[in-house]
Structure 1
Amino acid sequence: MEKDDKKKLRSSNWFGRTGKDGFIYRAWMKNQGIPDYEFNNKPVIGICNTWSELTPCNGHFRELAESVKKGIWEAGGFPVEFPVMSLGETIMKPTAMLYRNLASMDVEESIRANPLDGVVLLCGCDKTTPSLVMGACSVDIPTIVVSGGPMLTGKYRGKNIGTSDIWRYHDDVREGKLENAELRNIEAAMCRSDGHCAVMGTASSMACMVEALGLSLPENAAIPAADARRKVLAQLSGIRIVEMVKEDLKLSDILTIKAFENAIKVNAAIGGSTNFVIHLLAIAGRIGVPLKLEDFNRLSANIPLIANLQPSGKHFMEDLFYAGGLPAVLKELKDILNNDVITVNGKTVGENYQKAQNYDNDVIGSVGRPFNDATGLAILSGNLAENGAVIKPSAASAHLMKHTGKAVVFENIEDYKARIDTDALEVDESCILVLKNVGPRGYPGMPEVGNMGLPKKLLEKEVKDMVRISDGRMSGTGFGTVVLHVSPEAAMGGNFSVIENGDMISLDVQNRSLTVAISDEELEKRKKNRKVIPPIVDRGYVNLYVNHVQQAHLGADMDFLRGKSGSEVTRDSH
């Protein structure tokens, strides 16, 4: 894979200079106790760290960064660790997704402005992975990803538990089946080690995404955060990034359309998060690959669920690692993958899984012996979602895959919270819950409120699932027959914005359709009379976001960030 051993290092534009500028660049770095020989044409490797005590999933990254540094030193590189904005999914309000694009800008400008020849991205929590990859794509230098790894499986009273159980416990509390005091004990039992969610939520889906794309070393996706082998992988990644710089192996060499196709196929087979769609589209937009929402149907329609992991199945990420990790899944999919695409270790996808083995058929099945014939992802279209919507069939109820029901409409999240548990709410299990104005602009950031809790009076009747539709998102740990990412969102004034109580909505997942029984003429009439409620923003980044964010079917990136830039800012004076 070696391109040019003599290629001039990017960092030499700083540390290789003579005169005043070279003096300044080197002198101030030397106040950290760095010897002069470290500036003699060594590859400078940035370690882009999203460690933060406000991002619990990434709380162990200081230690992980030290393992990366060991590898960089070992390979003859010069490591420099730097922080970027960290997005704590479990804590940030209103949603970490609001700040994904901001964090990506932080990453892009931090890389572009500094003397870096290559970069290691340390990411784990949901939005830290796509934001770091998006930002790095916009600069396009040699890059490798090291994920933080999933936490150990939760244990409570003889039962395995994980993040997906939150939704079940929440309903139990609402029904009076579970006391809040016991819930506090469950909290400690569920999150018992370093790492991100132990199920195939968004964080694990993102870790699988980067491995399927070829941006990480094999086995990156599933090694538990608490396992010593996570540190070994980090050190090996540090060694490899130095080699990548020498080979000039960049993101654009790896992120081809074939790599994106592989990621989509793998996500369908593992029952990955619906958020995968919006993040992969954004990454493609940054690197300049012409990926479209309809491509997800074409590539995943005939791929069943072969990874038996919550929320679509029963096992946990820890179990996936012991069963052979993502390489074993890739090997089961070998007949449908693009096996010749190159990855960060210089080998092809096919070479990387060649020696993989499946050690547990109850965790990893096969295309011929799937755990669920339903795929992990489907894209819907119709007059209710002119630009598409997303559903996760593998985590939905089979009896609702084709369903027609009356709309019970909530105009916004406050309306939903105020009425969902009232006796006055006219609803039964055949109805379809509709939540508007929680899309990218309508509730700035597109929060994870799409998997609405069911009305209390239906929970008391043991109703476990209903069709729910929104222009928002759902946690990757969530489940149910939930239609998400309706585009255009209600705030943009499309057909979804004028759905009313009692409208008959039809969902047909097999035929990938989502329609409302209203004539085009009636829809246009309603839209003309629609009352427009502008988002309440007056300053700063949120103002910038609302005015420039694109719709979900384009990845909800900022319009001015699409496409990578080759420009370099040259700082010749101080």
Structure 2
Amino acid sequence: MPLRSDAWYSGEDRNAYIHRAWMRRGVPGSAFEGRPQIAIANTASDLTPCNAHLGEVAASVRNGVYEAGGIPLELPVVSLGETQVRPTAMLWRNMAAMATEEMLRANPVDGVVLLGGCDKTIPSLLMAAASVDLPAVLVPGGPMLTGTFRGAPLGCGTHVWRLSEEVRAGTLSQEDFVTSESATIRSRGHCNTMGTASTMAALAEVLGTVIPGTAGIPAPDSRLLESSHAAGRLAVELVREERRPSDVLTTASFHNAIVALGAIGGSTNAVVHLLAIAGRLGIDLTLDDFDRIGSRVPLLADLLPSGRFLMEDLHRAGGLAAVMGEVRDLLDPAALTVTGRRYIEHLDDAAVWDREVIRPRAAPVLEEGGIAVLRGSLAPQGAVIKPAAASPHLLQHRGRAVVFDSIEDLHARLDDPDLDIDADSVMVLRGCGPQGYPGMPEVANMPLPTKLLEAGVRDVVRVCDGRMSGTAYGTVILHVAPESAAGGPLAKVRTGDWIELDVPGRRLSLDVPAAELAEREPSATAAAAYAAPTRGWEKLYIEHVLQADTGADLDFLVGATGDRVARESH
């Protein structure tokens, strides 16, 4: 079987000599004689704490590749630390995907094992793999172990939001808040709630790009290394059988991922990531598909932020397969996995060991756990809400808008005692979309004003063109499209306008006559705060980024490009 890497290494001419000679460095000559060259695209970085352990994972992958007769080649790729990178890691998701794609295309590799964990690393790796279409398998880095504070479990992310609000409300001391800091992060691994990292690991498995049974294994668990070894072996098999991402990532697999998103109560961020991955393949996935397929799927995994338990509990209770076994009848049976078998075949032996953590269909956490897509005069191209994380009494609501023109404006006025706001108000934050910020930051779950917290209020309706953390909760309408910076109606909302939310009716409306709204000028204050870079990646990003309803990818990266051998330069 001819290998892609043969274009570099086969023959006796000067160029083949150069390619082999520079790669020898102790490697036997047989390395260049029909042995698949497997890249290990590693997002390990000390500045991406969730992925810091992936060097150990890579070592197990390397052993598996060698055992199967391949040659492992570690390839560090762009790593984005969700908690560390400013202004927001989402600004560089597309860049990380583009850089990984181009490095895979440019180098003499036949297949790749993708190592990711933190929120944007798995989406960017899958976007890259979809675009270059080399044989690929993903290994998620796994969630951290459960930490405890005052005898109770702490959910990474979710409890930060809750505890910080209690400090502002005066019900928790600043000293105790800081003390909880060291208990939150107990071990290596990503967030232990069903936040974006856990969601994307799970969806990557349901999409078929992960060896079934891997997603959700806690990062310190030795079984993760066992699975990593198997992924190395599988990568060699994928090359020899010419099984590519385009064979696995199909309309059927995206259908199943949307079902999974509802059943596990996954992050709203998965919407923009799945749309972007599908866009790289030319698959016609839309916002309406999320509502049509997934919005009425029962929420069965009782996990924070929508429920009570954490990822270590889910693994103990039977894992992702046990959840998906409960909704097997909703899945598309045609979807394949990297193993070459249909996804549903891997559910045959799934068992639930704890019915508190994984609920039966007859007694779900919530009857309809999926993402709801809203449209109306305030969101002509759509907006999303996670009903499972919202307050039931606010899912149908009419309230007076309190508008903030930027994140800075929010911070400056939030705790002003003269701020005219009450429990029925609708907080509106604009200038946070892909173009406006730029990068669509996780700020939609705005903190509540102190005056409301002191009055016992813990949730109000919030509307934003940005995103929110998958670990967050609240009645938050986000991803409003078009964003205010792109001329969306959000730019014309004024404090005092009435906003109507009807989640069952899938409607988000601004109660302002269309003629009056058409005559209004967009907020000049908001426009003055929009990003206006003059150089570098930010400038390129703003000029080419698409809106949230299509995945916020760059316009010139949409559509499958496939594999091609880089041109010879010697």
- Normalised by the shorter chain, which TM-score bucket? over 0.9
Counterpart position of 1:228: 222
Counterpart position of 2:47: 54
Deviates more, 1:561-570 or 1:405-414: 561-570
State the AA in 2 paired with 1:62. G
Partner deviation per Cα, 1:292-326 (whole Å, 9 max, x = no partner) = 11111000132121110000000001111111111
Give the Cα separation in 1 of the matches to 2:329 and 2:169: 47
Q: How far 1:567 moved relative to its partner?
A: 5.8
Give the Cα separation in 2 of the matches to 1:566 and 1:332: 36
Counterpart position of 1:158: 151
Give the Cα separation in 2 of the matches to 1:557 and 1:183: 38
Counterpart position of 2:138: 145
**Counterpart secondary structure, 2:356:** coil
Matched, 1:81 2:77: no
Counterpart position of 2:85: 92
Give the Cα separation in 2 of the matches to 1:399 and 1:416: 25
Give the Cα separation in 1 of the matches to 2:398 and 2:350: 45
TM-score using structure 2 length:
0.98
Counterpart position of 2:499: 505
Q: How far 1:80 moved relative to its partner?
A: 0.3
* 5+ residue gaps, structure 1: 1-5
Matched, 1:186 2:170: no
Give the Cα separation in 2 of the matches to 1:529 and 1:416: 15
Q: How far 1:16 moved relative to its partner?
A: 1.5
Give the Cα separation in 1 of the matches to 2:345 and 2:371: 27
Tell me which of 539, 550, 571 is aligned to 2:535: 539
8 Å CA contact 1:284–1:290 kept in 2: the answer is yes
TM-score using structure 1 length:
0.97
Give the Cα separation in 2 of the matches to 1:376 and 1:221: 20
8 Å CA contact 1:493–1:527 kept in 2: the answer is no
Q: How far 1:570 moved relative to its partner?
A: 3.1
8 Å CA contact 2:491–2:522 kept in 1: the answer is no
Aligned pairs (5 A) from 1:387-406: 387-406=381-400
Aligned length: 567
Matched, 1:456 2:450: yes
Q: How far 1:192 moved relative to its partner?
A: 1.0
Give the Cα separation in 1 of the matches to 2:283 and 2:37: 28
State the AA in 1 paired with 2:429. L
Give the Cα separation in 2 of the matches to 1:144 and 1:263: 17
Give the Cα separation in 2 of the matches to 1:367 and 1:502: 43
**Counterpart secondary structure, 1:149:** coil
8 Å CA contact 1:45–1:80 kept in 2: the answer is yes
8 Å CA contact 1:333–1:366 kept in 2: the answer is no
Matched, 1:326 2:320: yes
Matched, 1:472 2:472: no
**Counterpart secondary structure, 2:115:** strand
Counterpart position of 1:41: 34
Counterpart position of 2:97: 104
Q: How much is the aligned-residue C-alpha RMSD, in angstroms?
A: 1.2
Give the Cα separation in 1 of the matches to 2:65 and 2:308: 39
Change beyond 3 A, Cα 1:13–1:259 = same
**Counterpart secondary structure, 1:87:** coil
Counterpart position of 2:359: 365
Counterpart position of 1:435: 429
Q: How far 1:426 moved relative to its partner?
A: 0.1
Give the Cα separation in 2 of the matches to 1:176 and 1:14: 66
Tell me which of 281, 284, 290 is aligned to 2:284: 290
**Counterpart secondary structure, 2:480:** coil
Change beyond 3 A, Cα 1:16–1:158 = same
Aligned pairs (5 A) from 1:168-247: 168-247=162-241
Tell me which of 548, 551, 557 is aligned to 1:552: 548
Give the Cα separation in 1 of the matches to 2:513 and 2:566: 58
* 5+ residue gaps, structure 2: none
Partner deviation per Cα, 1:45-82 (whole Å, 9 max, x = no partner) = 11000000000000101100000111111111110001
8 Å CA contact 1:254–1:342 kept in 2: the answer is yes
State the AA in 2 paired with 1:58. N
Aligned pairs (5 A) from 1:12-27: 12-27=6-21
Counterpart position of 1:63: 56
**Counterpart secondary structure, 2:420:** coil
